Amino acid sequence: MTRPVILPGATLGVLGGGQIGRMFVHAAQAMGYCTAVLDPDPASPAGRVSHHHIRTGYEDPQGLAELARLAAAVTTEFENVPASALAALARATAVSPAADAVAVAQHRAREKAHFVACGVPVAPHAVIATPEQLAAAPAALLPGILKTSTLGYDGKGQAQVGTPAGLASAWERLGRVPCVLEQRLPLAFECSVVLARGRDGAVVHLPVQRNLHRGGILAVTEVHEQNMPPALARQAVAAAESVAQGLDYTGVLCVEFFVLQDGSLVVNEIAPRPHNSGHWSIDGADVSQFELQVRAMAGLPLTPPRQHSPALLLNLLGELWFARGAEPAAPPWEQVLALPGCHLHLYGKREARPGRKMGHLTVTAATPEAARATALRAAALLGIAPF
């Protein structure tokens, strides 16, 4: 069935009211759409800036019916939305990405199987869902990382394991839930590709993003032509495109990669939505990942984004509010904003907690060197360790 293009003036809906939903709402509203957010939290970052905020659980039939009634199309801003909720919505309105694509991203074992089916290299791994699978885990995967198959994010639901006994006790600690044991790989660095795929299968993408994680959480993203060898960047884009095509994906997809010390590329995981590493595109590209999300769900043309400025993104985590004492205090915004090319984004979260994503800072400049130098000065002012 060909659906009509959804034009500005209509209402676009999103499941989830976090910062990604908030930036989606900003992009949709800038283009003249109304927005509807479903999130139970009355203070959710996206709910507070949306035309409509439905405050029910993600599986509440009335909340979902209300969202379907309001919105000409619905998308999601986090992958742990129950697939049943997407399926229920799809019976009443246009939903992208589709429930079955989100179900793959929700589940590490399924995700890995999909990568293998697409012919994209993955880390050596084994599924551990039963005591028999635990006993049979190949020793060659150690030292490794045991990751829960579902509900992990920002390094949560993971344990480093060095020995078979350590593996058994880590599985106990994780509650004997289905897991994937991955070999710990010698990383040179990490990168990601954000792409958008339309209903017609057309694909556009942002430039490949080089990512630095600290403690399992994204800390810094660097995007410019010199951030990695061009052949490697082309390989990452091609791999991301085949992952999207294999899912018959509609919407914005992020594919995260490891680059190993021998220069080879390994896919880590996917996010069926805009991604933290793509937030720089609001300030550094002529089409942001959030505008791509709007265009894809509305059936509008996807024009290739053009990066107009080298960009660095610094994540602003809750611990920066405690850099000067035990009582939370806002970082020195005035000094940071005195630096040229600094774009501050705060998500409207009331309470700062260590590890909580409170906002991000994008630094743009005429050259990669200048962007990096300014980002390092901003980091020093904020209490972020140099990179």
Residue with tokens 């994540």: 315
Sheet holding 179-183, edge to edge: 125-128, 179-183, 144-148, 158-161
Out of 12, 20, 145, 181, the only residue in the binding site for ligand ATP (CB under 6 A) is 145
Is 209 a binder of ligand ATP (CB under 6 A)? Answer: no
Q: What is the Cα Rg of the chain in Å? A: 21
Question: From CA 54, how far away is CA 70, in angstroms rounded?
Answer: 10
CB of 147 to ligand ATP, least distance (A): 6
Are residues 319 and 351 in contact, defined by beta-carbon separation less than 8 angstroms?
A: no
Out of 32, 162, 201, 216, the only residue in the binding site for ligand ATP (CB under 6 A) is 216
Is the CB of 272 or the CB of 284 nearer to ligand ATP? 272
CB of 215 to ligand ATP, least distance (A): 9
Is the CB of 51 or the CB of 213 nearer to ligand ATP? 213
CB of 212 to ligand ATP, least distance (A): 9
Residue with tokens 């998308």: 75
Question: From CA 349, how far away is CA 87, in angstroms rounded?
Answer: 30
Which amino acid, residue 109? A
Is the CB of 131 or the CB of 162 nearer to ligand ATP? 162
What separation, in Å, do the N-terminal and C-terminal C-alpha atoms of the chain show?
A: 50
Question: From CA 296, how far away is CA 298, in angstroms rounded?
Answer: 5
Is 154 a binder of ligand ATP (CB under 6 A)? Answer: yes
Which span (4-12, 185-193, 295-303, 367-375) binds ligand ATP, by CB under 6 A? 185-193
Question: From CA 68, how far away is CA 27, in angstroms rounded?
Answer: 20
Residue 75, SS3?
A: strand
Three-state SS sequence of 169-227? HHHHHCCCCCEEEEECCCEEEEEEEEEEECCCCCEEECCCEEEEEECCEEEEEEECCCC
Out of 48, 110, 199, 213, the only residue in the binding site for ligand ATP (CB under 6 A) is 213
Is 185 a binder of ligand ATP (CB under 6 A)? Answer: yes
Please calculate the CA angle 160-165-166 and round it to the nearest 5 degrees.
15
Is 182 a binder of ligand ATP (CB under 6 A)? Answer: yes
CB of 152 to ligand ATP, least distance (A): 4
φ and ψ of 13, to 5 deg: -115, 155
Is 184 a binder of ligand ATP (CB under 6 A)? Answer: yes
The tokens describing 119, both together, are: 């012919």
Is the CB of 8 or the CB of 124 nearer to ligand ATP? 124
Is 269 a binder of ligand ATP (CB under 6 A)? Answer: yes
Beta partners for 345? Answer: 360
Out of 5, 7, 43, 187, the only residue in the binding site for ligand ATP (CB under 6 A) is 187
Q: Return the residues of window 54-83 that contact ligand ATP according to CB under 6 A.
A: none
CB of 148 to ligand ATP, least distance (A): 9
Is the CB of 155 or the CB of 166 nearer to ligand ATP? 155
Out of 152, 251, 310, 359, the only residue in the binding site for ligand ATP (CB under 6 A) is 152
CB of 156 to ligand ATP, least distance (A): 6
Is 111 a binder of ligand ATP (CB under 6 A)? Answer: no
Question: From CA 164, how far away is CA 134, in angstroms rounded?
Answer: 9
Which residues in this chain contact ligand ATP in the complex, by CB under 6 A?
123, 145, 147, 152-156, 182, 184-185, 187, 190, 213, 216, 268-269
